[in-house]
Structure formats: C-alpha cells, structure tokens
Amino acid sequence: MSFKPVSPDAPAPDALPYNRISRPLDRLLVAIGQASAWLWLAVLLVVLANVFSRFALSRGSIALEELSWHLFGAALMLALAYAVVRDDHVRVDVLSERFSLRGRAWIELVAIVLLALPVIALMIDALIPYAYKAYLYNERSQAPSGLPHRFIFKSVLPIGLALVALALLSRALRCSTLLFNFPRALTAPSDERDRTRSQP
C-alpha cells in the first residue's frame, strides 16, 4: 500500500473552488503555518534542555520552563490558520455528511459571517490592548529568574487570531464562489489538482 503526499495548496477531493483572492491568501497562510512548524522543534529542544538541566545537573530553570510554554503557545496560535485553510480542524460531521457540497457551503458561509468572524473580531479587540499594556509596562515574569519582555508572546495571540480571520475570510469567499460565482472561480482547477497528486 503506497502513500503519495499531496501538495499543501492542492485542494481536497470535493473541495470548494478557489478564486483570485483565496488562492494567494491560502498559499500565504500555508507558508506561515509550515514555517511555524519549526517552533515545535524548538519546543522539543527547550524541554529536553530543561529535563537535562533538572535531572543531570540538579538545576531546574524557570526561564526554560516558561520559554517552552511560550513557544508551545506561539506554535499553536500560528498553526490555527493553517488548520482552517487545510480543513484539518475538528468538525462535527454527523450532520454535514448528509448535506450536499452547496448545502455545506451555505452553512459554512452563514457560520463564518455571523458567528466566527464577529467572535474573533471581539477577541482581537480585547487582545491588542492586552499585549500593548504588557509592552508599555515592560511586563516580565513574576518569577525572579523568569523571562522578560512578555509582550512578545502576548502579541502572538492577536496575530494568530488575525491569521485565522484571514483564513475564514478566504473560506467564506470560496463558499461565495461556489454559491454565487463571485468572486469568479479560477479556470481549470482540476487539471492542476490532478497534476499535483501525480507527483511522488
């Protein structure tokens, strides 16, 4: 049984059509998600360094412990948009499997416009002052040997959610392309999809 990897920007079977806005936007978000994957390696190395320091040298490091949390959180926040673009996030598929592609597109479009984007906008609106306040006061860890400059990690929170908002906007535009042919779909997406899948 062989497995052929699919290019990150190749749509899944029975996927929504791309348009001139969603295609470059999705490619950008996929590139950011792939780049942020290196943060997981950094998390692993920091955790291993902390374990070695604690058990081999009998010297635990609060700074390393906090750094692992911050890197983990940053990797997670920056990967959320990638999950939305690739449609890899958790779904309740019990009902959606029974709907047609157009039916699912209607549900997604309404949910994105009326629920997801407004909630994310409220969260970003709350998190920007949260990060800016940490910058103004040069907030640092409460632990004496903890990390300084907490505004760096706190800034990742609204940035990550802004990327999710872009991913949802792209998804909504793809739903609109399917339902209303606006924006217009890119021509011959199936040829490109077949060509990408044939690559080893």
In a domain, 170, yes or no: yes
Residue 154 lies in a domain: yes
Confirm whether 173 is domain-assigned.
Answer: yes
Does residue 92 lie within any of the structural domains? no
pLDDT band with cut points at 50, 70 and 90 for residue 60:
confident
Let me know if residue 94 belongs to a domain: no
Residue 76 lies in a domain: yes
User: Number of folded domains in the chain?
Assistant: 1
At residue 105, does pLDDT exceed 60?
yes
Domain that holds residue 159: 22-87+100-185
Tell me whether residue 119 is in a domain.
Answer: yes
Buried b (16+ CB within 10 A) or exposed e, 17-26: bbbeebbebb
What does the alpha-carbon distance between residue 152 and residue 192 come to, in Å, rounded to a whole number?
Answer: 40
Q: How confident is the model at residue 143 (pLDDT cuts 50, 70, 90)?
A: confident
In a domain? residue 11:
no
Range with lowest mean pLDDT among 44-53, 73-82, 95-104: 95-104
Rounded CA separation 180/11 (Å): 20
